[in-house]
Amino acid sequence: MSDTFVVVGGDAAGMSAASKAKRDDPDLEVVVFEKGEWVSYGACGLPYYVKGEIQSLEALVSVTPEEFREERDIDLRTGHEVVSIDPDERTVTAEAVSDGDSESVVQPYDRLLIATGAEAVVPPIGGVDLEGVYTLGSMSDGKELREYVARARDGESFQQPDRGPACRFLEDCAGPVAVVGGGYIGIEMAEALAANEYEVNLFQRSGRVLTGFSEATSEAVADHLREREVALHLDAEVEELTNDGDGAVEAVVTADDRVPVEMVLLGTGVRPRTALAEDAGIELGETGAIATDAYRETSAPDVYAAGDCAEATHVVTGEPTYASLALTANRHGRAVGQTVAGRPTEGGGVAGTAAVKAFDVEAARTGIVDEEEARAAGFDPVTETIEANSRAGYYPEGGTVTVTLAADRDSGRLLGASLVSEFGEGAVHRSHAVVAALTEGATVFDLEDYDLAYAPPFNTTWDPVLVAAKVLSGTLR
C-alpha cells in the first residue's frame, strides 16, 4: 500500500508541494483539503483585478481544480475545511460543507503539510463590521471589491445580497473612500481606486508609507501619490469608523480629524493562520508563525509547514523571520514535495525581497535597510543613498534610480537595499543583484566589482547599484 501525503491548504505552498510530490513519486497518494472553491491562485493580482486591468478572477488561477484532479492525479477536495489534526493518531478531520449540510471526514496521513496561509489583520477599532468596510485577503474579497468599483463606474442600480442598502445606486458609492494602511496592499489599492476616479484618502499611523523601505524610497512614493491626488494622512492612527445610522460606514476618525468616506479598505497587514497547528500542540516560533527546521518539518514528526503560516530563515541574520511572500511559499512548498517524495530538500533562506508599484513609480527592497533593525540584529549599520541615471545620458529615453545601500561598518558585509525609480526604469530588476549578494554573504566591496551588463538603452556604464556600492565603499574605507 502506498504512503499518503495530506496537504491542508490549496494555494501556493500547498499545491506546489502536492504537485511536486506526485510528479516525483507517482505512486504516492496525495490528498489536498481546501475550504474554499479556489486553488492555486495569484492573490497578488487582486488589486489589479479590482482596478480593472485584469478582467476575470479566473485569469488569476494558475491551475484549475479539474486539472489537478484529472491531469495530475491529485485527490483535491475543495469545500473541505480541516478542523483538527491528531499527530499521535496521524489523522486530520475535515468538514465537508454542501448545500448547508456538513459531513466529517477523518483522513489518515503518513506525512502532512500545513499550508494554511495568512489572513488579513483587522485592527481592534470600532466600526470594522460596518457595511462598506472591506479587506483584501481572498478571491471572494476581491470579487466584492470589484463589484463595488463596477457599481460606481458603470452607474448600474445594484443591490448586493445580504449587505443592506449601502451603495445601492451610483450616487451612493462614487466616493470619497479610505484606505487604512500604507504598505503593499494599501499602496496598490490606493492606485486601483484612484484610477477608477475615487477621491482616495490613505491613512498611515506612522510618519511615512512603506516603512520597510528606506526613507528616500518612502518619500519618493509618497510624493508621487500626492501628485496623483491621493490624500495622505500620515501619523494618523485610525481610532474608529463611524456609523451613518443605517449600518454603513460614514467616516474615518483619527485623534486629529474626522474624514467622511463611503467605503473603507483595511490594508493593515496579514498574520499567519496558526490556530490549527496550535490546537494540535505544534510549536510556534518567536515571530508567531509555525516554527520549522531547514526542511520545513515542525515539532510534530512528519508534519511540515510552509508558506504564509510558517517561519523562514533570514539570509542576513540567520534568524527566524516571517515573510508572507509568494515566491517563498512556492519555493518552500516545492521543497517539501521533494522531501516527502524521498529526496530531502531544504527550503532555503529569504531576504524579505519585495516590490510595489504606485502609479508611475516602482520600488523594491531586500535585506535590512532600517538601521534600528540592523542594530538589533547585532550589526553596526552604515547607509548611503545615491541618485543615478537609469540609462546612458545621451540615450533619448530614461529617468533616474535612487538606491539606498546598507552595510556593516566593521565587516563591510552588505545588509540590504531599497530602490525606487519611474515605472519601467529598473528599480525592481536592479534589486536582484543585491539579492544575490545578500544570499552569498558578500561585502559591499564585492558588490562594487560585480560585472553587471551595460548597453545605453538599459543602463549607464556604472549601473546605479554599482554607483551606490562605490559610494558606500568609500564611506567604509
Give per-residue pLDDT as tens, 310-337. Answer: 999 999 999 999 999 999 999 999 999 9
- For CATH 3.50.50.60, list the domain ranges present in the chain: 4-41+51-117+271-340, 133-268, 360-472
DSSP 80: E
Side chain identity at residue 378, one-letter code: G
Q: What's the whole-number mean pLDDT along residues 363-378?
A: 97
Q: Does 154 have pLDDT greater than 90?
A: no
Q: What is the pLDDT of residue 1?
A: 52
Find out whether 81 and 95 touch, Cβ atoms under 8 Å: yes
Strands 231-233, 312-313: pairing kind = unpaired
Using DSSP, how many helices (H) and how many strands (E) does the chain show? 12, 25
Q: What is the pLDDT of residue 150?
A: 82
| CA 393 to centroid of chain Cα atoms | 36
Confidence of residue 161 (pLDDT cuts 50, 70, 90): very low
Side chain identity at residue 56, one-letter code: S
Query: Is position 44 annotated as part of the catalytic site?
Result: yes
More confident residue, 346 or 149: 346
CATH topology of domain 4-41+51-117+271-340: FAD/NAD(P)-binding domain (3.50.50)
Q: What's the whole-number mean pLDDT along residues 23-49?
A: 96
Q: For the domain bounded by 360-472, which CATH number is listed?
A: 3.50.50.60
Find out whether 128 and 122 touch, Cβ atoms under 8 Å: yes
Q: What's the whole-number mean pLDDT along residues 445-470?
A: 97
pTM reported for the whole predicted model: 0.93
Find out whether 238 and 205 touch, Cβ atoms under 8 Å: yes
Size (the chain), residues: 477
Confidence of residue 168 (pLDDT cuts 50, 70, 90): very low
DSSP 412: -
DSSP 115: -
Q: Does 156 have pLDDT greater than 60?
A: no
Arch. (CATH architecture) of 133-268: 3-Layer(bba) Sandwich (3.50)
Hey, which bits of 154-246 come out as E strands?
177-180, 200-203, 231-233, 238-243
Q: How far apart are the first and last CA of the chain?
A: 65
Question: Distance between CA atoms of 108 and 6, rounded to whole angstroms?
Answer: 8
**Residue whose cell numbers read 533593525:** 373
